[in-house]
Structure 1
Amino acid sequence: MAGEAGFPFSAVVGQERLQLALILSAVHPGIGGVLVRGEKGTAKSTVVRALAQLLPPVVDETGARPARLVELPVGATEDRVVGSLDLERVLRDGEQAFRPGLLAAAHHGVLYVDEVNLLHDHLVDVLLDAAAMGRVHVERDGVSHSHPARFVLVGTMNPEEGELRPQLLDRFGLTVDVAASREVDVRMAVVRRRLDYEADPAAFAARYVDADQVVAERILTARDRLPEVALDNSELRRIAALCASFDVDGMRADLVVARTATAHAAWRGRDRVTEDDVRIAAELALPHRRRRDPFDEPGISEQQLDEAMENAAAEVEKASGDEGFDESCDRLGGASDRGDGGSADDDAARRDCLDGAGTQGLDGSGKPGDGPDDDPDGGPDDRGPDDRGPDGRGPEGGPGGGAPDAGPAGSGPTGAGSSQSEDPGNGSRPGPERLSGTPTSVTKPLPRWEVPGIGEGAPGRRSRARTRTGRAVRPDTDTSAGLHLLGTVFAAAPRQFERGRLSGPLALAAEDLRGAYREGREGNLVVFVVDASGSMAARDRLTAVTGAIVTLLRDAYQRRDKVAVISVRGAEAELVLPPTSSVDIAVRRLAGLRTGGKTPLAAGLLKAREVIAREHLRDPRRRPMLVLLTDGRATGGTDPLPRARTAARLLAAEGHTAMVIDCERGMIRLGLAAELARDLRARYLRLDELSGDTVAEVVRASGRTPARAA
Structure 2
Amino acid sequence: MSAAARYPFSAVVGMDDLKLALIVNAVSPSVGGVLVRGEKGTAKSTIVRALAALLPDLTVVTDCRFSCDPADPDPECPDGPHDTSAPSHVRPSQLVELPVGASEDRLAGSLDIERALTEGVAAFEPGLLAAAHRGVLYVDEVNLLHDHLVDLLLDAAAMGTSHVERESVSVRHAARFLLVGTMNPEEGELRPQLLDRFGLTVEVAATREPTERAEVVRRRLAFDADPETFAAGFADREADLAAHIREARKRLPDVVLTDAALRQVTAVCAAFEVDGMRADLVTARAAMALAAWRDHVEVNADDVRDAARLALPHRRRRDPFDAPGLDEDRLQDALDQAGDADPKDPDDPPEGPEGGPGGDSDGGSGDSPPTEARQDAPESGAPTDRDTTEEPEPAQDSAPTPARGRPQPSEESTGQQEQANGEGPAPQDAAADPTETYRPRLFRVSGMGSGTPGRRSRAETPYGRTSGARAPHQRITTLHLPATLRAAAVHQRARGRSGPGLVLARGDLREAVREGREGNLVLFCVDASGSMAARQRMRAVKGAALSLLLDAYQRRDKVGIVTFRGDGADLALPPTSSVEAGARRLRELRTGGRTPLAAGLLRAAEVLRVERVRDPRRRPLLIVVTDGKATHGGVDSALRAGAWLRAQRVEGVVVDCESGPVRLGLAAQLAGEMAATPVRLDELGADALAGLVRHTRSAA
Could you tell me which of 649, 660, 665 is aligned with 2:654?
660
Query: Which letter maps to 1:168?
Result: L
Tell me which residue corresponds to 1:620.
616
Secondary structure class of the residue paired with 1:131: helix
Tell me the distance in 2 between the aligned counterparts of 1:323 and 1:527.
55
Query: Which letter maps to 1:3?
Result: A
* 1:268-291 per-position Cα deviation (integer Å, ceiling 9, x unaligned): 111211000011111111111121
Relative distance call for 1:133 and 1:599 in structure 2 (3 A) is same
* 1:347-393 per-position Cα deviation (integer Å, ceiling 9, x unaligned): xxxxxxxxxxxxxxxxxxxxxxxxxxx9xxxxxxxxxxxxxxxxxxx
Secondary structure class of the residue paired with 1:564: strand
Query: Which letter maps to 1:612?
Result: L
Tell me the distance in 2 between the aligned counterparts of 1:481 and 1:594.
52
Could you tell me which of 460, 473, 478 is aligned with 2:473?
478
Matching of residue 52 in structure 1 with residue 52 in structure 2: yes
Question: Which piece of structure 1 moves more, 48-57 or 605-614?
Answer: 48-57
Matching of residue 422 in structure 1 with residue 415 in structure 2: yes
1:185 Cα shift? Answer: 2.8
Secondary structure class of the residue paired with 1:434: coil
Matches within 5 A, 1:102-117: 102-117=128-143
* 1:116-164 per-position Cα deviation (integer Å, ceiling 9, x unaligned): 0100112112211221221123344323332211101011111111111
Matching of residue 14 in structure 1 with residue 14 in structure 2: yes
Tell me the distance in 1 between the aligned counterparts of 2:195 and 2:450.
28
Secondary structure class of the residue paired with 1:677: helix
Tell me the distance in 1 between the aligned counterparts of 2:247 and 2:33.
20
Could you tell me which of 301, 305, 325 is aligned with 1:275?
301
8 Å contact from structure 2 (residues 301, 335) kept in 1: no
Tell me the distance in 2 between the aligned counterparts of 1:198 and 1:607.
44
1:239 Cα shift? Answer: 1.2
Tell me the distance in 2 between the aligned counterparts of 1:422 and 1:632.
20
Matching of residue 497 in structure 1 with residue 493 in structure 2: yes
1:474 Cα shift? Answer: 2.7
Matches within 5 A, 1:86-105: 86-105=112-131
Matches within 5 A, 1:349-498: 422=415, 431-442=428-439, 446=441, 448-476=442-470, 477-480=472-475, 482-486=477-481, 487-498=483-494
* 1:606-661 per-position Cα deviation (integer Å, ceiling 9, x unaligned): 11101111222222222211001112222222xx2222112111111211110111
What stretches of structure 2 of length at least 5 have no aligned partner?
63-87, 349-356, 363-384, 389-413
Tell me the distance in 1 between the aligned counterparts of 2:615 and 2:34.
30
Relative distance call for 1:305 and 1:481 in structure 2 (3 A) is farther
Matching of residue 698 in structure 1 with residue 691 in structure 2: yes
Relative distance call for 1:6 and 1:473 in structure 2 (3 A) is farther
1:704 Cα shift? Answer: 5.0
1:21 Cα shift? Answer: 0.8
Query: Which letter maps to 1:643?
Result: S
Query: Which letter maps to 1:676?
Result: L
Tell me which residue corresponds to 1:314.
337
Between the two structures, name the one with larger relative contact order (CA 8 Å, sep ≥ 6): 1
Could you tell me which of 229, 243, 255 is aligned with 1:217?
243
* 1:210-251 per-position Cα deviation (integer Å, ceiling 9, x unaligned): 322222222222222222211111111111111121121222
8 Å contact from structure 1 (residues 440, 693) kept in 2: no
Query: Which letter maps to 2:55?
Result: L
8 Å contact from structure 1 (residues 57, 67) kept in 2: yes
Matches within 5 A, 1:158-307: 158-300=184-326, 304-307=327-330
Relative distance call for 1:290 and 1:192 in structure 2 (3 A) is same
8 Å contact from structure 2 (residues 26, 178) kept in 1: yes
Secondary structure class of the residue paired with 1:292: coil
Secondary structure class of the residue paired with 1:288: coil
Tell me the distance in 2 between the aligned counterparts of 1:495 and 1:221.
65
Tell me which residue corresponds to 1:397.
none
* 1:651-699 per-position Cα deviation (integer Å, ceiling 9, x unaligned): 11211110111112111222222221122111222122x3543344434
Could you tell me which of 106, 125, 148 is aligned with 2:174?
148
Tell me which residue corresponds to 1:673.
667
Relative distance call for 1:52 and 1:429 in structure 2 (3 A) is closer
What stretches of structure 1 of length at least 5 have no aligned partner?
326-336, 339-373, 375-410, 414-420
Matching of residue 536 in structure 1 with residue 536 in structure 2: no
Tell me the distance in 2 between the aligned counterparts of 1:74 and 1:519.
22
8 Å contact from structure 1 (residues 481, 517) kept in 2: no
Secondary structure class of the residue paired with 2:315: helix
Query: Which letter maps to 1:308?
Result: L
Query: Which letter maps to 1:310?
Result: D
Matching of residue 131 in structure 1 with residue 157 in structure 2: yes
Matching of residue 602 in structure 1 with residue 595 in structure 2: no
TM-score, normalised via structure 2 length: 0.82
1:472 Cα shift? Answer: 4.1
Number of residue pairs matched? Answer: 611
Tell me the distance in 2 between the aligned counterparts of 1:279 and 1:625.
47
Secondary structure class of the residue paired with 2:616: coil
Query: Which letter maps to 1:41?
Result: G
Question: Which piece of structure 1 moves more, 574-583 or 604-613?
Answer: 574-583
8 Å contact from structure 2 (residues 428, 593) kept in 1: no
Tell me which residue corresponds to 1:569.
565
Tell me the distance in 2 between the aligned counterparts of 1:31 and 1:2.
30
Query: Which letter maps to 2:479?
Result: H
* 1:436-475 per-position Cα deviation (integer Å, ceiling 9, x unaligned): 21332228xx4x3222233232232222223334444333
Secondary structure class of the residue paired with 1:694: coil
Tell me the distance in 2 between the aligned counterparts of 1:88 and 1:706.
44
Tell me which residue corresponds to 1:380.
none
8 Å contact from structure 2 (residues 430, 590) kept in 1: yes
Query: Which letter maps to 1:23?
Result: I
Tell me the distance in 1 between the aligned counterparts of 2:568 and 2:3.
58
Query: Which letter maps to 1:237?
Result: R
Tell me the distance in 1 between the aligned counterparts of 2:304 and 2:426.
55
Secondary structure class of the residue paired with 1:621: coil
Tell me which residue corresponds to 2:39.
39
Tell me which residue corresponds to 2:503.
507
Relative distance call for 1:543 and 1:692 in structure 2 (3 A) is farther
8 Å contact from structure 2 (residues 425, 534) kept in 1: no
Tell me which residue corresponds to 1:545.
541
Tell me the distance in 1 between the aligned counterparts of 2:669 and 2:646.
13
Query: Which letter maps to 1:516?
Result: A
8 Å contact from structure 1 (residues 226, 263) kept in 2: yes
Query: Which letter maps to 2:11?
Result: A
Please provide the CA RMSD for this pair. 3.0
Relative distance call for 1:139 and 1:483 in structure 2 (3 A) is closer
